[in-house]
Structure 1
Amino acid sequence: MKIAVISDIHANVYALMNALEDIDSEKVDTIICLGDLVGYGPHPNEVISMIRRRHILCIKGNYDISVVDNEYSFIRETHINSFSLPWTVNELREENRIFLKNLSTSLTLNILNKNLLFVHGSPNKINEYLLKDDDNTLNIMNDLNEDVLICAHTHIPGIKEFGNKVYINCGSVGKPKIGRPNSTYCILTITKEDGMKVQIKEIPYAYKRIIKDMTILEFPNGLIQSLENGLE
């Protein structure tokens, strides 16, 4: 079984298109999205339409919930979000808002007797940051009932073993925080012969296209620069 895991697209349709093209070349069996389809970027409807058209299995992220609620439910009340949240709420088509609302918050799979838990933030909270070397991640992994935790939300990819359990963060397709304007996603391969193998892929995309769109739409300079630099 070969699974591509993507997340945190954040209304960046150019990054999503590029990532899906790369994933198709990997000949995976399925794609799973860990949420945050919207927020920050200028293409929320296009991103959701592409996810739906490809029948990609998807859970919701913290920004998705906040857009559905039209409140700072699980996002910080910052200068950028004070622009991004209302802009996305106004731009989002009703059918896509309903799609986000109806997504689940987690997914559990059993593949070859290995239990995998997919979440956006953590098993405890949708907007909890799990960085691989932080104490809260250690506590989460110690309490984890499953064999593998696959998460996102931090926009920083990582892999780490905690005893006989494995932590995987797939990073971000549309708004990286790795110091480069490149998408990251994860390929998870589980076979009877080789067990589980994990690969984090980092791929460039035509980021100047989304910079141009955001500039034309008069998005905040700080938000534009964050996509250009691959930083917060």
Structure 2
Amino acid sequence: MKIAAISDIHGNIYALMKVLEDIDDQKIDLTICLGDLVGYGPHPNEVVALIKRREIPCIKGNYDASVVDGGFTFIRDTSINSFALPWACDEVRASNKYYLSQLPLFLNYDINGVKLKFTHGSPNSISEYLFEDKENTEEVMNNLEEDILVCAHTHIPSYKKFNNKMFINVGSVGKPKIGRPNATYCIINIDDNKKIDVKFRELEYEFKRIVKDTQMLHFPNQLISSYESGNE
């Protein structure tokens, strides 16, 4: 069974459309979204609408939660967020805020006898960063009951084995931090013999369109340039 795990779209409809086209080409059986549909980008309502229309199972990201409650409870209070959060709170429709508020924090699947947990940050916190070589990640993996943890939030794709457990961070569709203006997502293939294959997809998309849109809306230059550089 081939699973596509996407995350951190952040209101970037152009990147999401490109990724979903690629997912269709890859003959994926199940697509799962790990959250952060909104925040930063100029098209949060369009992103939510497309995820809903495709009936993609989705969990709540920390930016989704912050847009719902209207405060910095789950995100950092930075100069960019001081603009992006109020903008998103005003822009996201009430019906879409309700949709975001109802999203679960985790999704669990048993596929061919392999147990997977999908979360945004970590099983401990929606806003905890899990980097593959950090001590907190090792602690999380040691306590993991499932076979595979699939997370996001860092915007950096990574993969590592912890004894008999597997750690996967799927990267970011709409707000990459890989030093390139490309969308990333992950394909997890689990066959009938429980063999697991993990592949990351990195896709070019028309990022100049979102740059133009954000310029027209007078977004901060630091935020606009991040779409061009692929850096925070």
The answer to whether TM tops 0.5 is: yes
- 2:83 alignment partner, SS class: helix
Structure 1 match to 2:72: 72
TM-score (norm 1): 0.99
- 1:108 alignment partner, SS class: strand
Counterparts of 1:214 and 1:114, CA distance in 2: 42
Could you tell me whether the CA contact under 8 Å between 2:121 and 2:128 is conserved in 1? yes
Counterparts of 2:6 and 2:66, CA distance in 1: 20
**Structure 2 counterpart of 1:159, one-letter code:** Y
Could you tell me whether the CA contact under 8 Å between 2:147 and 2:164 is conserved in 1? yes
- 1:118-176: per-residue Cα shift (whole Å, max 9, x none)? 00000000010001111111111111111000000000000100000000000000000
**Structure 2 counterpart of 1:224, one-letter code:** I
Structure 1 match to 2:97: 97
**Structure 2 counterpart of 1:53, one-letter code:** R
Counterparts of 1:3 and 1:87, CA distance in 2: 33
Structure 1 spans left out of the alignment, 5+ residues? none
Could you tell me whether the CA contact under 8 Å between 2:113 and 2:194 is conserved in 1? no
Counterparts of 1:216 and 1:114, CA distance in 2: 47
In the alignment, is residue 130 of structure 1 matched against residue 164 of structure 2? no
Structure 1 match to 2:171: 171
Single out whichever of 193-202 and 60-69 deviates more from structure 2.
193-202
Counterparts of 2:132 and 2:115, CA distance in 1: 20
Counterparts of 1:173 and 1:91, CA distance in 2: 20
Could you tell me whether the CA contact under 8 Å between 2:114 and 2:194 is conserved in 1? no
Counterparts of 2:194 and 2:134, CA distance in 1: 29
Deviation at 1:194, TM superposition (A): 6.1
Counterparts of 1:77 and 1:228, CA distance in 2: 23
- 1:173 alignment partner, SS class: coil
- 1:202 alignment partner, SS class: strand
Structure 2 spans left out of the alignment, 5+ residues? none
Counterparts of 1:18-167 in structure 2 under 5 Å?
A: 18-167=18-167
Deviation at 1:193, TM superposition (A): 3.8
Could you tell me whether the CA contact under 8 Å between 2:16 and 2:173 is conserved in 1? yes
Count of aligned pairs between the two proteins: 232
Counterparts of 2:192 and 2:51, CA distance in 1: 30
Structure 1 match to 2:188: 188
Structure 2 match to 1:220: 220
Counterparts of 1:80 and 1:157, CA distance in 2: 23
In the alignment, is residue 209 of structure 1 matched against residue 220 of structure 2? no
Percent same amino acid among aligned pairs? 59
- 2:166 alignment partner, SS class: strand
- 2:186 alignment partner, SS class: strand
**Structure 1 counterpart of 2:209, one-letter code:** R
Could you tell me whether the CA contact under 8 Å between 2:62 and 2:126 is conserved in 1? yes
